[in-house]
Amino acid sequence: MKLKTEDVRFHSASMIDSAGRLFSWNGSIYRAISPDRTQFYTDLLERKQIQELFNHGLVETKASSLSLDGYGLVLEHRLIPFVSYCMEWTASMLKDAALLVCDLSAALCNKGLTFKDAHPWNILFDRGKPVFVDWGSIDAKTDRTHWPFSQFRDRFIFPLYLLSSGKSSFTRDLMLDVLHCPSSRDVLKLLFGTLPLPDWYKCWSQNRSFDRDSVRVHASYFQRLRNFVNSIPLSPEPTEWSNYEGPDGTIPRNVSDDWPSKISGVHSLLQRLKPTTVMDIGCNRGWFSEMAAEEGARVIAVDIDESNVSRLYQKVKQSGASILPVFMDFCTPTPSHGVTGGYPDAGERFQSELVLALAITHHLIFKRALTFHAVAKQLALFSKKWLLVEFVPPEDKYVSEWMNEQFRWYNLDGFKDALGQFFSRIEVMESTPSPRLLLFCEKSG
């Protein structure tokens, strides 16, 4: 089938790729290959060892029967349900992404191939596994090929060391800048005195060694690099929520008549609505995220505590559940970034049919100084159809300690009025412990 460029939606982040353009059509993801690169990718797909590259984490891809004006070939990629970026990953996810680049680079090297770039925006996560999605980065390896170690260092190694040293917010802010990085000298100065001296020296010396050896690399280079990355220590910063377990460990996973009303209410709603996508805001260790995944939904599990998100990520790695763990603050979701905003904001990427916001509203009001309107507007941003949000009333034993004259507006009617500006129907349900309530909200249409 022949398509015209006006029939498809090009992805803006791929506009600087000389190999071709990424586009969406009919719910699938494709890559239109430039005429001068068509033969290269045709030969690549016909290699007998292509399955080995897929096994190493390259996104599964095939030649499509589609054609597009101005391009010589159209590839169809396996669709990854959700797009997340490196500033939304835990340190353990960033490390796993770096290890993927090492392993896939070694496999490519053995086949006379290489990567033109080595940054984390080429990687997505699916069911706890990093997947390399940028086929435009694959190129032929020559005697003069210089593997992009400096980019790998700036986008993987240095951020891992900065995260390890406790500079989480600073590091994630740096990651938002796609075009620029601090100089290696500045980063090493910043790490000096923060890292233990042996770790700092290893970072400094290995940087020099890998940079020097990045010309005419062999597969052994990437094994050394893998070992180096694996040795970087990780220590997520704890928060007040790091030891909060929620229902984990205290409530049985199997459906039970003994479940408290909150859990049974969420479960019955999932079974009734059968959402294809769910966003669990304030997921903690992911108990409700796992429930939604077991009911067949693709889930985005968001929390502000990295240690809890890391725990969930390790569980997803083992189980293969359809859950994307995301480290993100609900109050400051990831903005669009990159050239002309080519990487969309969290509101566009994470929109889901159903949003769960359990036991977080009172914290957003009393600890983060949000209004009911601000909470409702932000929740509505992520919801395509439905929202299930918990309201903790003033007489709750915790909220009663925070209440004062400044919060006299904090009541159920006020919250319902704010939600009513974005949702056409609101149903009040029991929660646990009493007198907490669940508000099921539905958008019109």
What total number of domains does the chain contain?
Answer: 3
Beta strands 113-115 and 138-140 are: antiparallel
- Residue 246, pLDDT score: 63
Q: Are residues 54 and 95 in the same domain?
A: no
| Cα–Cα distance measured from residue 42 to residue 237, given in angstroms and rounded to the nearest whole number | 47
- Residue 7, pLDDT score: 83
Is residue 365 in a domain? yes
pLDDT mean values, one per 10 residues, the chain (445 residues): 85 80 92 94 88 95 93 95 97 98 96 94 97 95 89 97 92 93 93 90 93 91 97 75 60 81 95 98 95 97 95 96 97 91 94 97 96 98 98 94 94 98 97 95 91
Tell me the sheet residues that pair with 326. Answer: 302
Q: Are residues 182 and 50 in the same domain?
A: no
- Residue 168, pLDDT score: 92
CB 426 within 8 A of CB 413: no
Q: Are residues 438 and 326 in the same domain?
A: yes
CB 130 within 8 A of CB 103: no
CB 428 within 8 A of CB 420: no
In sequence order, the 6+-apart residues with CB closer than 8 A to the CB of 413 are none
Is residue 289 in a domain? yes
- Residue 19, pLDDT score: 87
Is residue 238 in a domain? no
Look up tokens 């353990």; give the residue.
92
- Residue 142, pLDDT score: 86
| Cα–Cα distance measured from residue 356 to residue 135, given in angstroms and rounded to the nearest whole number | 35
Tell me the sheet residues that pair with 437. Answer: 391, 430
| Cα–Cα distance measured from residue 294 to residue 287, given in angstroms and rounded to the nearest whole number | 11
**Which of 67, 72, 68, 74 has the alpha carbon at shortest distance from 6?**
68
CB 364 within 8 A of CB 329: no
Pull the structure tokens for residue 261. 């009303």
Q: Are residues 305 and 168 in the same domain?
A: no
| Cα–Cα distance measured from residue 257 to residue 34, given in angstroms and rounded to the nearest whole number | 60
Is residue 62 in a domain? yes
User: CATH no. for residue 351?
Assistant: 3.40.50.150
| Cα–Cα distance measured from residue 306 to residue 237, given in angstroms and rounded to the nearest whole number | 7
- Residue 18, pLDDT score: 81
- Residue 244, pLDDT score: 62
Using one digit for the tens of pLDDT, what is the confidence trace for 274-303? 999 999 999 999 999 999 999 999 999 999
Domain of residue 115, residue span: 86-231
Pull the structure tokens for residue 386. 């439905």
Mark which of 77, 109, 138 sits at the end of a domain: 77
